[in-house]
Each structure stands twice: as structure tokens, then as C-alpha cells.
Structure 1
């Protein structure tokens, strides 16, 4: 995916010399592995320990930006290694990503946009094969809303005829069967709710 390679390119940097954190928590986060392993070889297991504490008990801007491409890579293409897309994208808000350089913001936006299309296709494929339609695209919508991204373009895609099975699934689950993370993104849910309440544009 071109957007993924751009993300790696834009955020390319040497490993930070240290990842700081709460003294009582840092030893459980495996940060030594994060700094000694080549970025593209980092596993979801070690990254997930970092993500859950990032900007809370461990880490800061330099290490988050360094790790971001690999975190997004595995979140999109190996979701069993890094679950909870909403948490991953929500870290952008804590990182104040809207204050980053234009090239960095564009790389993030383009990747999330491509990620949504990929997730939508995966959801529709699952539905066509008789599995549950799934919630990959919903998780991205929720996480993007938490990160402060406008949802209008993705909501328009959700209303395209090809996305009808996914929209039907969301309508069926609305409001009580949707991701619990929407509580952290009320503005995004406010944008999505009218569509789901009507079941159409």
C-alpha cells in the first residue's frame, strides 16, 4: 500500500535514545525491545504493551512518532496482533497530531483514508462469505473521530450502494450494539447517528 510506505518514509528517524515512563510501570512495557529491534520487525505483542500506556505511563512525542508507522501497519494488516483500532487512533489526539508538520498530517490522513477503504472491503468480503459483516470500518470511524478527524468523506462512502451490507449491519446494531469507544468520541457519533437512525442518506 503506497500510503503505508509514505508513512514509513515521512516518519523515518533513528530510534530514540530512551523511552521514559513511570518508574513503577516502565519495566513492564518492554521498551528495551522497542529500541533494539528494527522497526519493521517489531511484533504486535511488544507494541501493544507500549500503546496501552503511551502518553499515560510511558512514552512521549519522539518515540510515538518513531513507532507510529509500525503501529499503524500492524493495526491495519494484523489486527489480531494489535486489537482495538479505536485506542490506536485515539493516541493521535493525545499526541496533538493536528499541530504536526503538514507533510506528517497528510501522511497520517492518507493512511487512515486508505485503511478505511481496506477495512470496508474486508467487512464486505466477510459478509459475502457468510460471516458476520464485522466492525473494522466502524472501529476506524470511531477512532478517527476520537482523533479529531472529520468523518464526512467516509460517511459518504458508507452510503454508496456497494457498502449497503455494512450499513445494514450498523443500523441493526445501533445504538446499543456498537463499539463502546464511541463514548470517547461523541462528536463523531453525532455525525453518524442520523444516518443510522434513518438507515440511509
Structure 2
């Protein structure tokens, strides 16, 4: 499966469940889609799209060990995204990688509390401050499809509580 490239999977991941594909092939390709999403993000769909497909796949009906594996993957992906954003902050500009993973997780129906608590850590302060600055006017448009997660994020950004 390693020979399947990011550009080839980009088209599939964009249309899966909408114009092509079913749960069976999505589950088969998901490990490679996730791998490319983290290791080659320039040739992958946005985290909001990739993780949003989990809901369409009915992933909460999958075996508990499969659900836990996805949650652990998203934990690691969020940490990597946060680290990327913090590294960019050191260079004078803050990215939106952590927000993208948060939004994708929310679209997948995952509660955001643990990641929002992580954003509340002192070490993540530059990213949290940037999210507050961009809140509402420049936030990911995908939040529209994750109202529960958006309320969770809003509570942190406006009231300071996760």
C-alpha cells in the first residue's frame, strides 16, 4: 500500500462517500491516508477533510481497539501540529496546523477537552493567543460542520476554560 501516493489518495479522500467509495475501501485505505496526512501534508487533504470522513464511515461503530487506535493517532497528530505551530511562532509567524487537527477531530465527533487543555498549557500560549486573535474572522470554515466542537473551542477562546 506504500506505493499509493498522496496525489492519488487526495482525489479519493476528497470524494469518498460523496461520489466514490464505501466504508470497506475507506477502512482499507485509511492507514495510508493518515500516514500521508502527517508525513506529506503538502500532498494530502486537510485534516478537517480526512478526519471528517470518519463520521461518514461510522467509525464509532468500529471495534473499540480500532477506535482507540484512531484516537491515539489523532493525539500524536495534534502534538505534532502544535509543535509545528510553535516552531513557526519562533520564526515570527504562527501556523494553523493545531486548529486544523482540532477541527477535524471535532468533525469526527471526538470531544476536544484533552487537546484544549493542552492548548491551555503555558508552553502553547503563542498558539492559543493566535487562535484568540483569529477567532471568528479567520477560523477554519470547516467549524461550520462541527458545532459541538466549535462551542468547546469557543469556551476556551472567549472564557478561558476548556
How does the TM-score come out when normalised to structure 2? 0.96
Partner of 2:66: 104
1:55 to 17, 20, 42: 17
Residue ranges of structure 1 left out of the alignment (5+ in a row): 1-38
1:142 to 91, 103, 113: 103
Which of the two has greater helix per residue? 2
How does the TM-score come out when normalised to structure 1? 0.78
Partner of 2:34: 72
Tell me, in whole angstroms, the C-alpha distance in 2 between the residues paired with 1:50 and 1:175: 30
| Deviation per residue, 1:132-159 (Å, 9 max, x gap) | 2111110011010010001000000000
SS in 1 for 2:42: coil
Q: CA deviation at 1:56?
A: 1.0
| Deviation per residue, 1:41-67 (Å, 9 max, x gap) | 211100011011101111111110111
Partner of 1:129: 91
SS in 2 for 1:80: helix
Confirm or deny: 8 A CA contact 2:143 2:150 kept in the other structure: yes
RMSD of aligned Cα (Å) = 0.9
| Deviation per residue, 1:48-96 (Å, 9 max, x gap) | 1101110111111111011101101111121110132101000000001
For the pair shown, the structure with the greater C-alpha radius of gyration is 1
Partner of 1:173: 134
Q: CA deviation at 1:185?
A: 0.4
Moved over 6 A (4+): none
Tell me, in whole angstroms, the C-alpha distance in 1 between the residues paired with 2:22 and 2:66: 17
Give the length in aligned residue pairs.
Answer: 161
SS in 1 for 2:82: helix
Tell me, in whole angstroms, the C-alpha distance in 2 between the residues paired with 1:111 and 1:85: 12
Tell me, in whole angstroms, the C-alpha distance in 2 between the residues paired with 1:144 and 1:63: 21
Partner of 1:120: 82
Tell me, in whole angstroms, the C-alpha distance in 1 between the residues paired with 2:133 and 2:45: 23
SS in 1 for 2:76: helix
